[in-house]
A and B are shown apart, each in its own frame.
Chain A
């Protein structure tokens, strides 16, 4: 049973550029959430996708956008990159059924460095 996968593993960009990160959820999961984790901090919620729509969003600017495909995989796009966007970006998938069944399972993350 494949877990959550993310690509790429590492990425280096320069300020002002745009980046796309990809996530495939755990088999059977239909909900994908994206998090940003700065060094030494807990993950910060960016947004969540369900049925190809953004269901809820954290306190992140519009430069952060996403998409979910019919196969439940998802992309995170960040435009006009800033130095402060350097972080580990985590994707988590869940079943959306509530209770412990809605536990979020995390992928290995994409380490983004903005120079």
Chain B
């Protein structure tokens, strides 16, 4: 079946680092995406991984291991504005236009 798991909530202090893990079991795999969603707003694209390894983008990095069905999003130098829900999504199937399967999201709370 299709399953994407991520922790429900994480709390960290401003300036610290937080790592959000995501494990997935899908019928196919054609890329893993991370989105940030502030309360009441639309998800915004953060990162994309299709090959194993680390992708770095400023304060945000994302890692993928396809053999383990595992990814993480690393947020460095946390800022108050990083308080949001972080969604892990897998594009399944073998086609480039496969549908996205989303996890339930991880609520990150940044404290002063």
Contacts and interface: CB of A to CB of B under 8 A. Distances in A.
Nearest to B105: A42
B100 A45 contact: yes
B99 A48 contact: yes
Contacts, number: 66
B45 A105 contact: yes
B5 to A, nearest CB: 11
Interface stretch (A13-21, A67-75, A77-85, A106-114): A106-114
Contacts of A103: 33, 45, 48
A43 B96 contact: no
A104 to B, nearest CB: 6
B31 A99 contact: yes
Interface stretch (B13-21, B36-44, B70-78): B36-44
Contacts of B97: 31, 48, 50, 55-56, 94, 96, 98, 102
Interface in B79-112: 87, 89, 91, 96-97, 99-105
A33 interface: yes
- Most chain A C-beta atoms within 10 Å of own C-beta, residue among B41, B99, B104: B99
Contacts of A56: 97, 99
A107 B87 contact: no
Interface residues of A, number: 31
A44 B100 CA distance: 9
A100 interface: yes
Nearest to A108: B42
Interface string A34-73: 0100001111110010100001101000000000000000
Interface string B43-66: 111001010000000000000000
A102 B105 contact: no
Given A41-B104, A103-B33, 4 more contacts: A45-B99, A55-B97, A90-B42, A90-B43
